[in-house]
Structure 1
Amino acid sequence: MSHKRIPKRKAAIAVGSVAALGAAALLLPNANASQSNGDDATPRTFKATDVSDVAAQLASQLGGAFAGSYYDAANKQLVVNVVGNNSNVVNRIEQAGAVAHQVQNSTSDLRAAAKTLRTDATIPGTAWSVDPKTNEIRVTADSTVTGSKWDTLTSTVKDLGSGVATVKKSAGTFKTFVDGGDAIFGGGARCSLGFNVTASDGSPAFLTAGHCGVAAKQWSDAQDGAPIATVDQATFPGDGDFALVKYDDPATQANSAVNVGNGQSVQINQAADAAVGQQVFRMGSTTGLNDGNVTGLDATVNYPEGTVTGLIQTDVCAEPGDSGGSLFTQDGSAIGLTSGGSGDCTVGGETFFQPVTTALQAVGATLGAGDAGAGGAADPSAGAGDQAGAGDQAGAGDQAGGADDQAGGAADDQAGGAADGQGAADDQGNADDQGGAAYGQSGSGMDDGSGMVTTP
């Protein structure tokens, strides 16, 4: 298959002549309108991207009574979990337009349970995240967790007490999705570019997965091609999975859009925190465009390379080569960067994402393009971290009560790291030709969405 090459001075997610928002309207379902009926005691309807701010405000106001929240997509409502039956708490929730839901487990209870899992059950092939819909921690074990490992995991969950956590088996294997794509290339590995950003020094750059950033120092837009970008910071494993990669040409135009194929693009307007229950879209160089829902926050994943915390859990599929690709909403909010998971786009599975707000704060970048080559200010619509910290709605996990608590530190010393074998590609080559993308995209040969650099 022949591919159109974007000039090196153009960044990966160039929108061309397409009117991004208009194209998105053709591609994606109609956005949910946020509205209020004027009655403070009656539940409002919310857009999914609006609920994190409201949940964060309620979390700060309600203190220990707040036990997480989620988005009820069917009714377009924000549901807030509360412990106890304090009428003042319920009234405050209802005055904010949300729905109060009484639950058993407090934030501190679930946070303590997550800490116990981290101490007693950090087993490769396991993951856990908070499910505010059930007010429990959802623990998942992949196919490698058997025998004594399975016994340790299930006994740890049982010891947490009734109604605190559940455990299930996954047919696949938890892994990072670093090989098999044809988007960006470095050190034998293939990954996907997530979102273009402006670094703190004003230079053009992009975000991708941290496990890509530690696999290779330099990245190209063509296999065995000349490098076009160099890793500046990378974190993996540990408190996230993200990397900041600076374009070598300071005149690169790093446009803030995700090309989803067939001449359609979605303009990225801001970074936002995920909300359980919201619909999200993922673009990757192997499988193209796929959608699903956020199922958990503050997820901990025990990859073979090590433990990663603070991730978003979803039921969106992904495959090798999709690592680093964009997770976004239909109205143009950047949500996450593809980290890893289990399964594929034939049988489904779980996929985990690095929150964009946390990554931006950690590396000091701003979403979108600056005045390339002139040291200008970043795109004012970017909102790089305006909503960071709204992860309070998570309600539990080691990072509960503020997604940006993890921000402290992109492990700079890993940048360009020497993890030579970490996720090296197996040269499956052009796996994206299989299709697998929703909405009829092939995931390849059309400026490869997901914010990826195309190959010749």
Structure 2
Amino acid sequence: MTRHTWRGAMTACAAGALLVGPLAVGSTAAASDPGSTSPHELGIEQKVDPGIARALERDLGISRGDAAARLTFQARAAGIEDALERRLGASFAGAWVDPTANVLYVGVADQGAAAAVQAAGAKAVVVDDTLAELEGWQASLDAATPAAADQVPSWYVDVVTNSVVVSVRPGGEATAQALIERAGVPAGSVSFEATEEAPQTYIDIVGGNAYYIGSGSRCSVGFAVTGGFVTAGHCGRSGATTTSPSGTFAGSSFPGNDYAWVRAASGNTPVGAVNRYDGSRVTVAGSTDAAVGASVCRSGSTTGWHCGTIQARGASVTYSQGTVSGLIRTNVCAEPGDSGGSLIAGTQAQGVTSGGSGNCSSGGTTYFQPVNEILSAYGLTLTTGGGTTPPPTTACTGYAASYQGSLSSGAAVAQPSGGSVTVTRSGTFRLCLAGPSGADFDLYLQKRSGTTWSTVGQGTTSSNNEAFTYNGTAGTYRYVVLAYSGSGSYVLGATTP
């Protein structure tokens, strides 16, 4: 395969066919309500947190409407990518999105696998090397540490160019070539990237909330888990104590990895949310991996809330303390003091800040330890927004009809019991929804026209409770409850004309 030996920056994907076809491949939401399904199946496009849309507008220069469309597309593309990776097996060569055209590309090392990709609604790109081969060569580089680490600061698998990209500082060309030869990586599968970056760990930091280690060094809570929180491994060794919240490092790994988890002392309550530094918080709904090219946002105490794009997954970076592999590489800016903070795509947790280079004035490169690896390493459960506490029995009282159920985050259900109600005269609909505390449940009123349903009224605030009225005509209606974030029980009250 012919490749450019040197390159200045990652190339963007050319626009292609829009992602169409089955949009819920491998991503059906689980829920307790009989008949519950994905919002898309009920004609509901999930709303996008306005704060996230504003940050993407500010940092990526896109409109809030485009931001909403992009985040919705990314969530659907992640499910398709996961299903195709399992189906394609050894021929899978990675996946990435073109955020400007909302296209999902999937690399395949076998022309015969392209049809399966197209059938799933993605665009196939036939390449020479499989993802497993590229990751194997990256692992070889991990084992062959460069003679001068400051000259070759990072390397990563770039699925877009189907190569292992090695970043080289000025004067480090010979060191990079020697590293590749020592690792036994085929020259045709390597791209070089000139860089000025000099990665460093961010010790004095806060993400969602600050915590302090030992006699005063500060780091951030990455994401809450049952019994404590996860953070960067370079923040503290196993056994180190913390304050605000108080706890103990129950596990820590750095270098090689850059993850840790802190077991919090009693009286500290994990909350499934990330500080957005504008007086509000983003609810954490899960930890589905976003694709390369996806838009993400980071939270940190020095520079606050900033957004950017995933450039690669599984990247390796060499700090002065040693090489860390398996990281998410992004162009989200960060500065010293932001380490350990949260990286999130929409409402899906992605990783915790490891380190990087640059700043939030001129831009930079930041690396994140994937959160799912931390959860797996220590057998932890991510804390998500809301809870399972049923609403009070007095919620939404005074309505002619009442419906109850339970939903998992991201699922939706039509009431009554997946069916509909027939209204024989014009008048006012009064609707009320009471969801679990801390969650964000939404309510939609839909009217049938022929074989399709259209939303005619809705309550979509960031609260767990919704109430609205609608002046309608005779016809067939249904009520759709959506668990936008958080899980638990709800009560729906309805009065029709």
Compute the TM-score of the two structures, normalised by the length of structure 2.
Answer: 0.60
For residue 264 of structure 2, the aligned residue among 247, 253, 256 is: 247
Aligned to 1:338, the other structure's residue is in SS state strand
Structure 2 residue 368 is the aligned partner of structure 1 residue 344: no
User: Which residue of structure 2 lines up, in the alignment, with residue 433 of structure 1?
Assistant: none
| Matched residue type, 1:93 | V
Structure 2 residue 192 is the aligned partner of structure 1 residue 185: no
CA spacing shift, 1:287–1:27, aligned 2, 3 Å? closer
Show the 5 A alignment for 1:136-147. 136-142=163-169, 146=172
| Matched residue type, 1:140 | S
User: Which residue of structure 2 lines up, in the alignment, with residue 321 of structure 1?
Assistant: 337
CA spacing shift, 1:106–1:359, aligned 2, 3 Å? same
CA spacing shift, 1:192–1:142, aligned 2, 3 Å? farther
User: Which residue of structure 1 lines up, in the alignment, with residue 235 of structure 2?
Assistant: 212
CA spacing shift, 1:183–1:93, aligned 2, 3 Å? same
Deviation at 1:73, TM superposition (A): 1.1
| Matched residue type, 1:207 | V
Deviation at 1:151, TM superposition (A): 5.2
Structure 2 residue 291 is the aligned partner of structure 1 residue 275: yes
CA spacing shift, 1:120–1:228, aligned 2, 3 Å? closer
CA spacing shift, 1:111–1:151, aligned 2, 3 Å? closer
Question: Which segments of 5 or more consecutive residues in structure 1 lack a partner in the other structure?
Answer: 1-19, 35-44, 222-226, 375-379, 384-456
For residue 382 of structure 2, the aligned residue among 341, 350, 367 is: 367
| Matched residue type, 2:200 | K
CA contact (8 A) 2:298 2:342 kept: yes
Considering fraction of residues, name the structure with more strand. Answer: 2
- Count the aligned residue pairs: 332
For residue 249 of structure 2, the aligned residue among 231, 249, 257 is: 231
| 1:312-365 Cα distance to aligned partner (Å, 9 max, x none) | 111111111111101012x31111100011222223222110111111121222
Deviation at 1:288, TM superposition (A): 0.7
Aligned to 2:332, the other structure's residue is in SS state coil
CA spacing shift, 1:22–1:277, aligned 2, 3 Å? closer
Deviation at 1:310, TM superposition (A): 1.1
| Matched residue type, 2:367 | F
Structure 2 residue 301 is the aligned partner of structure 1 residue 265: no
CA contact (8 A) 2:234 2:258 kept: yes
CA distance in 1, matches of 2:272, 2:185: 48
| Matched residue type, 1:340 | G
CA distance in 2, matches of 1:370, 1:131: 33
Structure 2 residue 188 is the aligned partner of structure 1 residue 173: no
CA contact (8 A) 2:205 2:340 kept: no
| Matched residue type, 1:127 | S
Compute the TM-score of the two structures, normalised by the length of structure 1.
Answer: 0.65
Deviation at 1:173, TM superposition (A): 1.2
CA distance in 1, matches of 2:408, 2:229: 17
Aligned to 1:185, the other structure's residue is in SS state strand
CA distance in 2, matches of 1:52, 1:74: 16
Structure 2 residue 276 is the aligned partner of structure 1 residue 285: no
Show the 5 A alignment for 1:333-412. 333-368=348-383
CA contact (8 A) 1:186 1:215 kept: no
User: Which residue of structure 1 lines up, in the alignment, with residue 22 of structure 2?
Assistant: none
Over aligned residue pairs, what C-alpha RMSD do you find?
A: 3.2
User: Which residue of structure 2 lines up, in the alignment, with residue 82 of structure 1?
Assistant: 108
CA distance in 2, matches of 1:255, 1:219: 18
CA spacing shift, 1:382–1:184, aligned 2, 3 Å? farther
CA spacing shift, 1:116–1:358, aligned 2, 3 Å? closer
CA distance in 1, matches of 2:290, 2:55: 21
CA contact (8 A) 1:269 1:381 kept: no
Name the % identity: 36
Question: Which segments of 5 or more consecutive residues in structure 2 lack a partner in the other structure?
Answer: 1-47, 57-63, 390-406, 411-497
Deviation at 1:78, TM superposition (A): 1.3
CA distance in 2, matches of 1:278, 1:160: 29
CA distance in 2, matches of 1:324, 1:233: 15
Instruction: Point out the more displaced range, 291-300 or 21-30.
Output: 21-30
Structure 2 residue 327 is the aligned partner of structure 1 residue 300: no
Deviation at 1:33, TM superposition (A): 4.6
CA contact (8 A) 2:313 2:327 kept: yes
Aligned to 1:113, the other structure's residue is in SS state helix
Instruction: Point out the more displaced range, 107-116 or 24-33.
Output: 24-33
Deviation at 1:26, TM superposition (A): 5.5
CA distance in 2, matches of 1:358, 1:101: 28
CA distance in 1, matches of 2:386, 2:285: 17
CA spacing shift, 1:157–1:75, aligned 2, 3 Å? farther
CA contact (8 A) 1:315 1:349 kept: yes
For residue 131 of structure 1, the aligned residue among 158, 180, 184 is: 158
Structure with the bigger RCO (C-alpha within 8 Å, sep 6+) is 1
User: Which residue of structure 2 lines up, in the alignment, with residue 447 of structure 1?
Assistant: none
CA spacing shift, 1:340–1:25, aligned 2, 3 Å? closer
CA spacing shift, 1:158–1:119, aligned 2, 3 Å? closer
CA distance in 1, matches of 2:177, 2:165: 17
Instruction: Point out the more displaced range, 92-101 or 257-266.
Output: 257-266
User: Which residue of structure 1 lines up, in the alignment, with residue 123 of structure 2?
Assistant: 99
CA distance in 2, matches of 1:361, 1:266: 23
